[in-house]
Amino acid sequence: MDPSQASESLALIEQAGNATRRAMARAGAGYQFIIWGLVWLFGYLGTQLLENEASGYLWLMLDCFGVVASAYAIIRLSRRVRSPGAWKFGIFWLLLLAFGGLMMWVVWPLDAEEYVLFITLLIAMGYALFGLWASTPLLIAGIVIAILAILGWHFLPTYLGFWLAFTGGGGLIGAGLYILRAWK
């Protein structure tokens, strides 16, 4: 392959990546990050400020909100984009959560901080892996959220809920805003 063919191939790869990012943005990927960032923000604040039982009910309500808001965004915005392989992203998240549930079952019981950290790291891993397909900034966001979660768990265990609310929830909201602005 000569240099001009290599350059053409790289340009085609970049065009395909840009088209994928634009399609995902039109399908509502940015809104998904914002929705779940808000769930994390308020859920982790509740974890920090409420008793365990009340925190559990808050997370249940927030997760229900997240599922309904995500479904609404997907249904409403999916009319803009038709992609034969889009279902694979949904299956990816279902598999990640199913395997996460199995891992949780194997290592149970966990104390409250370990449980919160496990969920955070699992989802951060999902975002990092998703970023391998979609965009380097999402890969970086997943890695940064994981590192910040570990740092908070290690250095600020008393304030882990606050830390995760703003680093994890804020990180997801920031990633969503980035997608909405940069992937147009």
Q: What is the pLDDT at residue 15?
A: 58
Q: Taking the model in full, what pTM does it have?
A: 0.76
pLDDT of residue 179: 82
Q: At what angle do helices 170-182 and 3-26 cross, to 10 degrees?
A: 120
Q: Look over the chain and give the mean of its residue pLDDT values, rounded to a whole number.
A: 82
Task: Please state the domain count of the chain.
Answer: 1
Choice between 94 and 121, residue whose per-residue pLDDT is larger? 121
Give tens-digit pLDDT for 61-102.
999 999 899 888 877 776 655 566 667 777 887 888 888 888
How far is it, in rounded angstroms, from Cα 30 to Cα 36?
10
Whole-angstrom distance, CA of residue 133 vs CA of residue 82: 18
- 């308020």: which residue's tokens? 42
Residue 10, Cβ density class (10 Å: 0-12 exposed, 13-18 middle, ≥19 buried):
exposed
Burial of 17 (0-12, 13-18, 19+ CB in 10 A): middle
% pLDDT > 70, the chain:
78
Provide the residue range defining the domain that includes 64: 3-182
pLDDT digits (tens, 9 = 90+) for 44-65: 999 999 998 899 899 999 999 9
* pLDDT for residue 17 is more than 70: no
What is the 8-class DSSP label of residue 158?
G
Residue 9: band (very low, low, confident or very high) from pLDDT cuts 50, 70, 90: low
Q: What is the pLDDT of residue 173?
A: 92
